[in-house]
Chain A
Amino acid sequence: MDLDFTAQQQAFRAEVRAWLHDNVPRAPLASYDTREGFEQHRVWEARLAEGGYSSVIWPKELGGRGSDLIEWLIFEEEYHAAGAPMRVNQNGILLLGPTLMEFGTAEQKARFLPRMARCDDMWAQGWSEPNAGSDMANIASRAIRDGDEYVINGQKTWSTRAVFANWLFGLFRTHPESSRHHGLSYLLVPLDARGITIRPIKALNGKQAFAEVFFDDVRVSAANLVGEEGQGWNVAMATAGFERGLLLRSPARFQRTARRLVELYRRHQAAADRDPSIRDGVLQAWMDAEAYNLASYHTVGRLLQGGRVGAESSTNKIFWSELDLRMHETAMRILGPRAELIDDPEVHDWLEGFLFAQAGPIYAGTNEIQRNIIAERVLGLPKS
């Protein structure tokens, strides 16, 4: 047991650090939920791809570096330590990317993966529907085969950044008589196709963070089917396991927030200490961010030895989302009456982060669903 990096890992870290030092934009980018900010983030994604850093764990021939998960953790540490921009196309890179690698045809991989890595294509997720949220198997949108096309009718919702996306990956019911997770298919849909209407949904911060997507006799080539027809649920779930649970939120992100929180507390310690629970909250934030980091190295180590992991993606999801919420709540309390002043430079990022942290326990599978998964798959308790 050790926590020492090999010479090769240290060299990788040095290389990443130097590249980020030379390339990270000096001025912060505008929010990627605005048109201007989205375009800035797209330029940044293209720059990352040029450096081979779009997704370090992707194979080299697809624009990655063929890194293992330790190198991925190192990359994330350097990325967040450098204060580099938020990643705008992660739904594509984390969800669709691995799915195409496992189930896509050679033509689909060649057509979509390099463009995804450069953010030439921006991908929206088409899973949730008005009546299929936590109960995702209740999907009702249909895609009916007609010759070498599918005809799609229905509605998707909560599609993150769909306002700026040009493609959507989603699950559609291709067998009209089917129910639940049977008879679904995984389709790739160009968002400029005729019959698509995108209606933005404003998030808590007033920005168009996601959208509803309506399909009215939208015709999509059957070449855009990923995996076999009717197997969409399995295709989607195959890459929804541990790796995604880890990759979605690296520990470095929270260690950076914890660092900022300690610094915020130290700047305002006299005022903050009027409420003794604040100091406690700061300590807890550091401890939990550290715990998440150590747990990640422990789990990755076991994975690299060929070990199997259980429901880590569910415990991770609960842990980081609740940690993120608590850290931002503590920051709000340190800021006191200033915490509502959205234009105050010291407040702005904390307040935006606080709003976004509210969503953490809800997106990517609510924490209630994650607790069910832990109880049933780790503890073996009977289904409800």
Chain B
Amino acid sequence: MDFTFTEDQLALRDSVSRFLMNEAAPELLREIWETGGGRSPELRAKIAAQGMTGLSVPEAYGGLGMSDIDWALITEEIGYYAIPDSLADTACVAPALLRAVPDAEALRGEWLPKIADGSARVAVEHPVNPWVADVHLADLVLAFRAAGDGALELHAVRGADLHHSALGSIDASRRLAVLSQPLGASTRLLRGAAVQPLADATVDRAAFAVAGQLVGLAQRMLDLSVDYVAQRKQFGRPIGSFQAVKHHLADVVTRIEFARPVLYRAALALQRDDRHRAAFVSHAKLACADAAWTAARKGIQVHGASGYTWEVDLQMFMKRAWALDAAWGDRAFHKARLGATLFGDEAPLGPAATLY
């Protein structure tokens, strides 16, 4: 029993954190917002050079062959720095999906090395999300879509063939679109009983990645708020000395403290394909979303009027948190999944029943 990270895992997290602190500062993010595509090829190239796009790609395909457990810490950093990119879809979700598709060695051989070296972006479509992130720049879209007969199919669509209509998001770092062309035999990768397990695993891994970003966002909003209340003075002293302000932020600490370990169990459940994987991932998504939602509300409150402005950076992290709250399954979706497990006959209930 050792529910902690290794020194190596923590060291990787620290190096990713230092890298993003320098390369993804809020002022740079604001500049990227103003560009047409909302994405920075330079930043993406640096992220790839850092090895982040290849974390989940097996070593045989040029990646680092890391696990969902390693990703738990990395997703927190992606959230903390709110990088304007759906990096987790390409680097965490897509490699696992590509590895799991049966009889797709040619596809793996083509795309996994490109994901690893950062030359390919992969977008992932699933019925749980009405829109798809970063379709406009995708080199490949992996799409789970119901056919006319209702059967779920998996399609692969190459970037050159994409038709999409863009949708604006309140979070200027999100670039969403609806993939508008019909998919058919020419794009179909897989049909039949094998599709649903792949789709389920994809939802779980993507929801986990979003959960990690949400708790990272919560930590960032907390840190920004602490900095603000320590320097902002009213009545002749820092507002952070007032209990009403302290208690708002102490509540955020508590939410974060009890969301992170839930995220880590979800990572373990994914890694091991645990029988309660869906429930444990949904728990993580709900707990991390709650931490982020609380951090946003308390954060803007202690920032006072300046928290309501465009100028102050808090807005960037609040909007990301609000947007991701319902990404890869809204709360109703995850509560329904959790309820199906908890109120079923195999429910993991009571002391000692919920570990492995």
Which B254-291 residues sit within 8 Å CB-CB of chain A?
A: 254, 257-262, 264-265, 267-268, 283, 286-287
Check B259 against A291 for contact (C-beta < 8 Å): yes
Q: Does B354 make an interface contact (CB < 8 A)?
A: yes
Q: Which residues of A contact B230 (CB under 8 A)?
A: 380-382
Q: How far is the CA of A3 from the CA of B352 in the complex (A)?
A: 11
As a 0/1 sequence over residues 351 to 384 of chain A, the CB contacts with chain B under 8 angstroms (1 = contact) are 0000000000000000010111011101111111
CA distance A200 to B265 in the complex (A): 46
Report if A28 contacts B (CB, 8 A): no
Query: Is the beta-carbon distance between B5 and A1 smaller than 8 angstroms?
Result: yes
Complex contact B352–A252 (CB within 8 A): yes
- Interface pair A381/B261, CB less than 8 Å apart: no
Q: Among A3, A77, A292, which residue has its beta carbon within 8 angstroms of that of B268? A: A3
Contact for A297 among B1, B243, B259, B343, CB less than 8 A: B1
A80 touches B343 (CB 8 A): no
**Cβ A78 vs Cβ B352 within 8 A:** yes
With A80-B351, A298-B264, A368-B247: A382-B258 Cβ-Cβ less than 8 Å: no
Contact partners of A305 in chain B: CB under 8 A? 4
Closest residue of chain A to B247 (Cβ to Cβ) is: A371
State which of B242, B253, B265, B355 has its C-beta within 8 Å of the C-beta of A378: B253
Complex interface residues of chain A between 278 and 301 (CB less than 8 A to chain B): 279-280, 282-283, 286-288, 290-295, 297-298, 301
**A-B contact sample (17 more), CB < 8 A, given A269-B343, A286-B342, A301-B4:** A2-B3, A3-B3, A4-B356, A13-B352, A77-B352, A78-B351, A255-B349, A259-B349, A294-B3, A294-B265, A295-B257, A370-B250, A372-B246, A375-B250, A379-B226, A381-B229, A384-B246
B3 to chain A, nearest CB (A): 4
Chain A residues in 8 Å Cβ range of B1: 2-6, 9, 70, 297, 301
The DSSP consensus for interface residues of chain B is helix
Whether B2 and A1, one on each chain, are in contact in the complex, defined by CB atoms closer than 8 angstroms, is yes
> Is A301's CB under 8 angstroms from B335's CB?
no
Nearest chain B CB to A57's CB is how many angstroms away?
Answer: 16
Least distance between B13 CB and chain A CB atoms (Å): 13
Per the bound structure, the CA–CA distance linking A252 and B350 in Å amounts to: 7
Binding site for B on A (CB under 8 A): 1-6, 9, 13, 70, 74, 76-78, 80-81, 251-252, 255-256, 258-259, 262-263, 265-266, 269, 279-280, 282-283, 286-288, 290-295, 297-298, 301-302, 305, 311-312, 314-315, 318-319, 368, 370-372, 374-376, 378-384
18 residue pairs of the A-B complex, CB under 8 angstroms, read A3-B268, A6-B1, A77-B352, A78-B351, A259-B350, A263-B349, A280-B335, A283-B335, A290-B354, A295-B258, A301-B2, A301-B3, A312-B257, A315-B258, A372-B246, A375-B247, A379-B222, A382-B237
Docked-complex contact A283 and B351, CB < 8 angstroms: no
Q: Is the CB of A255 within 8 A of B257?
A: no
Whether B324 sits at the interface, judged by CB under 8 Å, is: no
> With A301-B3, A301-B4 in contact, is A279–B339 under 8 Å at CB?
yes
B15 CB–A CB distance under 8 Å: no
Chain A residues whose C-beta falls within 8 Å of the C-beta of B352 in the assembled complex: 13, 74, 77-78, 81, 252
Is B304 engaged at the interface, CB distance under 8 Å to the other chain? no
**Interface size class of chain B, counting residues whose CB lies under 8 Å from the partner chain:** 35 or more
Q: Which residues of chain B are near A314, meaning CB under 8 Å?
A: 250
Q: Is the CB of A2 within 8 A of B246?
A: no
Chain B residues near A6 (CB-CB < 8 A):
1
Q: A283-B338, A376-B246, A381-B240 are in contact. Are A297 and B350 (CB under 8 A)?
A: no
Q: Give CA–CA (A321, B132) in the complex, Å.
A: 41
Interface centre among A5, A293, A312 (most CB of B within 10 A): A293
Inter-chain contacts of A255 with B (CB < 8 A): 349-351, 353-354
C-alpha spacing A378/B240, complex, angstroms: 13
Complex Cα–Cα for A143 and B217 (A) = 53
Q: Which A residues touch B342, using CB under 8 A?
A: 262, 282-283, 286
